[in-house]
Amino acid sequence: MSNLHPIISTLLKRIGLGIISLFFVTLIIFSSVNLLPGDFVESVLGQTRTEESVKIFRKELGLDKPYHIRYVNWLTSAIQGDLGSTFSGRNATYANQPQQSTARSVSSLLKPRLFNTFFLAAMTAIIAIPLSLLLGITAALYRNSIYDRTVNASALTTISMPEFFVAYILIIYLASINQFFPSLSNVTSSTPFFERIYLSVLPALTLTLVTVAHMMRMTRASIINLLSSPYIEMARLKGISKTQVIIKHALPNAWAPIANIIAFNLAYLIVGVVVVEVVFVYPGVGQLMVDSVIKRDIPVVQGCALVFAVTYILLNLIADVISIITNPRLLYPK
Amino acid sequence: MKSSKHKKKDLLLDIQNISIEGFSDEIWHPIIKGVNLQLYRGEVLGLIGESGAGKSTLGLAAMGFVRTGCRFTSGSINFNGQDLTKLSDKKKQQLWGTKLSYVAQSAAAAFNPAHKLINQTIESSLSHKLETKEILLKDAVQLYKEMQLPNPDEIGERYPHQVSGGQLQRTMTAMAMSSKPDLIIFDEPTTALDVTTQVNVLATIRSIVKEHQTAAIYITHDLAVVAQMADRIQVLRYGDTIEVAKTSQMLKSPKEEYTKSLWAVRSIKKKEQKSKEIILRIENISASYGSGPKVLQDININFPTGRTVAIVGESGSGKSTTARTITGLLPPTQGKVIFQDRTLPMKLSDRSKEDLRKIQMIYQSPDTSMNPRHTVREIIGRPLSFYHGINKEKNTDKVLELLDMIELDESFVDRLPEELSGGQKQRICIARALAAEPDLIICDEVTSALDQIVQEGILKLLLRLQHELKISYIFITHDIATVKAIADEVVVMHQGLVVEQGSKKDIFNPPHPEYTKLLLSSVPEMDPTWLNKVLEK
């Protein structure tokens, strides 16, 4: 490792750490999903179950094997990209005839949902990130002015309201009183691109309002934190205008914390938006996961959780990489 | 030196009766109280005073700049016929970085870590559209050459963290010269540098200022430095002018008591005494931080009982690391620490309470070495209860006795550190060390953060305590004047090695090893021709 550029060795270390944390997350996912109360087989077979049918059904689903074997099987196939089959495609009628099972693979169920979720997250990010950077930088530039206070107060207001409430308010004003956008965002895989954007406007707007406050305040704080540095005073005394001082001298040194908070919010947009999905009947991964928990469809729950974990770790890894490459001390060693 | 007869039209900067206030603790405090300052074209004015005298504030005011939380209250700052106090921010921005330049104290902090040196050097001239980029780049390289930077063609491509402190300081002077300004403010430009580095930076600054006929205000607390740089000297204290005079006159016959007292520390001269007994011996000590390079290499030093051994050297020479190995804070990788004829365990955690009690430390910055939420009673009381089992109720007499030893009265007992001045804080730190009743006290740069007059008080106190209590001192410092004032024996360190050790008389009289010679010759002297003499050699 010694003759590698320090950036590369740091990156390799981070990636290694990411893989290790992912491994521990799979352990946690598997054990906690298995701690869920209730049993899929018993709930599907219902009152009419016999000991015999329960046994056969269990065997077919692989639930008769001990925990650690099931974990290893699940992990090895997950590494190969196979998340297993859903439980819920099957029912009691087919319990005795496994070959006629209608079970779908978890990935085929997850894929369109995941696409929807990423689409909504991307749409929100495209609005929210530039907006919050712009607001954060201008608020830092005109700090303690009326503009700064207004931006801060409105950001705090939106972040203080529960997201479903923000969603309903938007529905009232933009879908009900003024019928600009639909209040239902039930996109399907065949929805054309622009139609899809049109349908997703309200959920994207809701999520924007919820995330901008965070990112904007962090941007403002990171920049203001740097404004007392001697090199900022030096730049001012070199006759550089206030805007240039912030953009050229403060911002390049503020990327690390800003990148972290953006990654945090992006992760939230993918893993934490189930409430907004429910309000707008948007078919995302969040809804799928909640539905599967209710149905005790263990493979789907595990699959969703795994996707969430990968997203989280990947985004944080990217944020780390950004903080590393924006630090000239690491990029250009002595 | 410039002629004393200046024509009126040569007056570049005329500050009349300027007052500046700063906002703290919910009220406005005066910082500068109606100061006048005149500067002629091509002249260098030295601004001297202790911390809190308002030197920096006045220096920045000469550019029409006040820091956040400060304001002009009255007076005028006339630069080239414009009153800077009345100019809009936009107008001042056009002057800053073109006609007026600033060189800050810490170059390491004043350069933006995210940009290359060359881009920062030409930034102001470029943004004010003084020249095309090509010409500015060429000029910058020329300036780097004049500042005697190594590889002037390439050094600009580096980032601030990739060059040394002395090089950064020179680059910053080149940056200030880039727009060919009429006036440069130098705010303690060499204070953060080692003495051997300082000499070169002083020389290059002086020659470039002369070469380009630039007027300068040179701010420093070091009289010897200002004597080399300035044509005239203005002494400030508590935001007021004490005295203004030509350099040679100011040095020969200062009028005011205060100005005379600035020489004070140089007047203490301890007579060196010998002692045959050895309290501490370190043998073949090597140490490193983590798996890093060796910071100490095979160090051997004897410390005589009841005497003061000064360890002197520049930053990075291993002085403080030596202290850390003695106290056990940094266990050495090899070697022995023999204290009172007994080998001490390397690690702090393996030493007995009695071992710990006998060796105490006093640190450079009293601000950070005391718990800000503890009162003086608690600070001094802690070692009393820890080492001697004297509990809170019974310790008052002992605390008062210790306060008396450090020449503070009982009114200090319930104060918090923030209610003390810098010198008083350091006295409390001394009392805290004394409370343990140690045999050896390690003083790590204890006077470096203090003003000259306060330094003198602390040094006198330490000498008196040594005389009364027969304590041995290890005195770590980079300041040769302090060494002369307090030491019996001297150890010179450089790059983790002991260059020379012996009695004060031996060390300060030739013959010297190469490094000691360089170190001693680099210490600025009051003689205004000192720098010329050093450069000639």
Q: Does B157 touch chain A (CB under 8 A)?
A: no
Residue B2 is predicted with a pLDDT of 43
Closest by alpha carbon to B202, among B173, B176, B233, B231?
B173
Q: Does A243 touch chain B (CB under 8 A)?
A: no
Is A237 in Cβ contact with B98 (below 8 Å)? no
Closest by alpha carbon to A326, among A264, A258, A235?
A258
% of chain B at pLDDT higher than 70: 97
- For the segment B421-449, what is each residue's pLDDT rounded down to a tens digit? 888 999 999 999 999 999 999 999 898 87
Chain A residues touching residue B109 (CB < 8 angstroms): 229-231
C-alpha distance from A165 to closest chain B C-alpha (Å): 42
C-alpha distance from A325 to closest chain B C-alpha (Å): 11
B243 and B284 share one domain: no
Q: Does B87 touch chain A (CB under 8 A)?
A: no
Domain contains B408? yes
Q: Does B127 touch chain A (CB under 8 A)?
A: yes
Q: Does A240 touch chain B (CB under 8 A)?
A: yes
Residue B316 is predicted with a pLDDT of 79
Q: Note the helical H segments in B78-132.
A: 89-95, 107-110, 117-127
- Residue of A1, A233, A238, A242 to mutate for B, most B C-beta atoms under 10 A: A238
Choose the final residue of a domain: B262, B290, B316: B262
pLDDT reading at B267 higher than 90: no
Examine residue B160 and say whether the peptide bond preceding it is cis (omega within 30 degrees of 0).
no
pLDDT reading at B272 higher than 80: no
The residue assigned the tokens 């997203």 is A311
Q: Give the C-alpha separation, A117 to A287, whole Å.
A: 10
Residue A89 is predicted with a pLDDT of 63
C-alpha distance from A17 to closest chain B C-alpha (Å): 22
Q: Give the C-alpha separation, B332 to B285, whole Å.
A: 6
Q: How confident is the model at residue B309 (pLDDT cuts 50, 70, 90)?
A: very high
Element (H, E) at B388: helix B376-388
Per-residue pLDDT, averaged over B8-33, amounts to 87
Give the total number of structural domains in chain B.
2
- For the segment A303-316, what is each residue's pLDDT rounded down to a tens digit? 999 999 999 999 99
Length of chain A: 334
Residue B259 is predicted with a pLDDT of 84
Nearest residue in B to A231, CA atom: B110
Closest by alpha carbon to B229, among B201, B257, B252?
B201
Furthest CA-CA distance within chain B: 76
pTM as predicted: 0.79
Q: Residue type at A317?
A: L
Backbone angles phi, psi at A190, to 5 degrees: -95, 0
* Token representation of residue A212: 């901008």
C-beta contacts of B329-333 below 8 A and 24+ residues apart: B330/B287, B330/B289, B331/B287, B332/B285, B332/B286, B332/B287, B332/B296, B333/B286, B333/B287, B333/B288, B333/B294
A149-to-A136, A142, A246, B69 alpha-carbon distances in Å: 12, 10, 19, 20
% of chain A at pLDDT higher than 70: 94
The boundaries of the domain holding residue B241 are 8-262
Q: Does A250 touch chain B (CB under 8 A)?
A: no
CATH number at residue B75: 3.40.50.300
Per-residue pLDDT, averaged over A265-277, amounts to 90
B332 and B245 share one domain: no
Handedness of CA B4, B10, B16, B22 (dihedral sign): negative
Q: How confident is the model at residue B3 (pLDDT cuts 50, 70, 90)?
A: very low
Chain A residues touching residue B136 (CB < 8 angstroms): none
Residue A276 is predicted with a pLDDT of 92
Q: Give the C-alpha separation, B403 to B411, whole Å.
A: 10
Q: Residue type at B456?
A: E
- If you ran DSSP here, which 8-state letter would residue A1 be given? -
Domain contains B169? yes
Q: How many CA atoms lie within 13 A of B130 on its CB side?
A: 23
pLDDT reading at A151 higher than 90: yes
Q: How confident is the model at residue B1 (pLDDT cuts 50, 70, 90)?
A: very low
B181 and B307 share one domain: no
B483 and B437 share one domain: yes
Chain B residues touching residue A248 (CB < 8 angstroms): 115
Is A252 in Cβ contact with B104 (below 8 Å)? no
3-state secondary structure of B311: strand
Is A229 in Cβ contact with B97 (below 8 Å)? no
Q: How confident is the model at residue B122 (pLDDT cuts 50, 70, 90)?
A: very high
**Domains recognised in chain A with CATH numbers:** 13-100 (no CATH), 106-295 (1.10.3720.10)
Q: Does B98 touch chain A (CB under 8 A)?
A: yes
- Residue of A141, A231, A330, A334 to mutate for B, most B C-beta atoms under 10 A: A231
**Number of Cβ pairs closer than 8 Å across A and B?**
80
A327-to-A4, A45, A332, B42 alpha-carbon distances in Å: 18, 60, 9, 41
Is A240 in Cβ contact with B123 (below 8 Å)? yes
Is B112 in Cβ contact with A238 (below 8 Å)? no
**Which of A228, A237, A328 lies nearest to residue B63, judging by beta carbons?**
A237
Domain contains B3? no
Residue A265 is predicted with a pLDDT of 93
B201 and B303 share one domain: no
Residue B314 is predicted with a pLDDT of 84
Domain contains B1? no
B258 and B282 share one domain: no
Q: Does A295 touch chain B (CB under 8 A)?
A: no
B42 and B153 share one domain: yes
Q: Which of A88-97, B123-132, B297-306 has the lowest mean pLDDT?
A: A88-97
Q: Note the helical H segments in B212-330.
A: 223-229, 247-252, 257-261, 319-327
B75 and B99 share one domain: yes
Residue A4 is predicted with a pLDDT of 66
- Which residues, 6 or more positions from B302, have their beta carbon under 8 angstroms from its beta carbon? B278, B280, B281
- For the segment A223-262, what is each residue's pLDDT rounded down to a tens digit? 998 888 899 999 999 999 989 999 999 989 998 889 999 9
Q: Is pLDDT larger for residue A87 or for residue B328?
A: B328
Is B97 in Cβ contact with A240 (below 8 Å)? yes
**Which of B94, B110, B127 lies nearest to residue A244, judging by beta carbons?**
B127
B257 and B289 share one domain: no
- If you ran DSSP here, which 8-state letter would residue A322 be given? H
Per-residue pLDDT, averaged over B403-431, amounts to 89
CA A129 to chain centre: 15
C-beta contacts of B526-531 below 8 A and 24+ residues apart: B526/B223, B526/B224, B526/B227, B526/B251, B526/B263, B527/B227, B528/B227, B528/B228, B528/B247, B528/B248, B528/B251, B530/B224, B530/B227, B530/B228, B531/B199, B531/B202, B531/B203, B531/B206, B531/B228
pLDDT reading at A139 higher than 90: yes
Q: Does B447 touch chain A (CB under 8 A)?
A: no
pLDDT reading at A204 higher than 60: yes
Choose the final residue of a domain: B211, B234, B262: B262
* Token representation of residue A87: 């439980």
Interior angle at CA B265, CA B220 and CA B36, nearest 5: 35
Per-residue pLDDT, averaged over B215-241, amounts to 90
Choose the final residue of a domain: B234, B262, B290: B262
A199-to-A162, A188, A268, A283, B377 alpha-carbon distances in Å: 22, 11, 21, 12, 70
- The DSSP annotation for B403-442 comes to HHHTT--GGGTT--GGGS-HHHHHHHHHHHHHHT--SEEE
Domain contains B404? yes
C-alpha distance from A141 to closest chain B C-alpha (Å): 14
pLDDT reading at B149 higher than 80: yes
Q: How confident is the model at residue B263 (pLDDT cuts 50, 70, 90)?
A: low
Per-residue pLDDT, averaged over B504-517, amounts to 86
Residue A92 is predicted with a pLDDT of 47
B295 and B207 share one domain: no
Is A240 in Cβ contact with B124 (below 8 Å)? yes
Q: Does A234 touch chain B (CB under 8 A)?
A: yes
Is B95 in Cβ contact with A231 (below 8 Å)? no
Q: Note the helical H segments in chain A.
A: 6-35, 40-45, 51-61, 67-79, 106-141, 146-160, 163-170, 193-227, 230-237, 242-244, 255-271, 274-280, 285-295, 298-325, 328-331
Q: Does B164 touch chain A (CB under 8 A)?
A: no
**Which of B93, B102, B128 lies nearest to residue A234, judging by beta carbons?**
B102
Q: Is pLDDT larger for residue B481 or for residue B264?
A: B481
**Which of B101, B113, B175 lies nearest to residue A328, judging by beta carbons?**
B113
Residue B266 is predicted with a pLDDT of 61
Is A239 in Cβ contact with B98 (below 8 Å)? yes
- Residue of A228, A232, A237 to mutate for B, most B C-beta atoms under 10 A: A237
pLDDT reading at B468 higher than 60: yes
Backbone angles phi, psi at B386, to 5 degrees: -70, -45
B213 and B303 share one domain: no
Looking at every residue in chain B, the average pLDDT score rounds to: 88
Per-residue pLDDT, averaged over B209-224, amounts to 89
- For the segment B360-385, what is each residue's pLDDT rounded down to a tens digit? 999 988 888 899 899 999 999 999 99
Domain contains B302? yes
List beta partners, residue B492.
B312, B500
- Residue of A2, A224, A234 to mutate for B, most B C-beta atoms under 10 A: A234
pLDDT reading at B9 higher than 80: no
Q: Is pLDDT larger for residue B253 or for residue A217?
A: A217
Residue A82 is predicted with a pLDDT of 82
* Token representation of residue A176: 């009900």
Is B111 in Cβ contact with A231 (below 8 Å)? yes
Q: How confident is the model at residue A101 (pLDDT cuts 50, 70, 90)?
A: low
How many Cβ atoms from other residues are within 10 Å of residue A161's Cβ?
A: 14
Is B114 in Cβ contact with A326 (below 8 Å)? yes
* Token representation of residue B155: 């050094």
Residue A95 is predicted with a pLDDT of 47
Domain contains B181? yes
B299 and B239 share one domain: no
Residue A102 is predicted with a pLDDT of 59
- For the segment B310-335, what is each residue's pLDDT rounded down to a tens digit? 999 887 788 889 999 999 998 999 99
Per-residue pLDDT, averaged over B398-404, amounts to 91
pLDDT reading at A97 higher than 70: no
Residue B40 is predicted with a pLDDT of 92
Domain contains B270? no
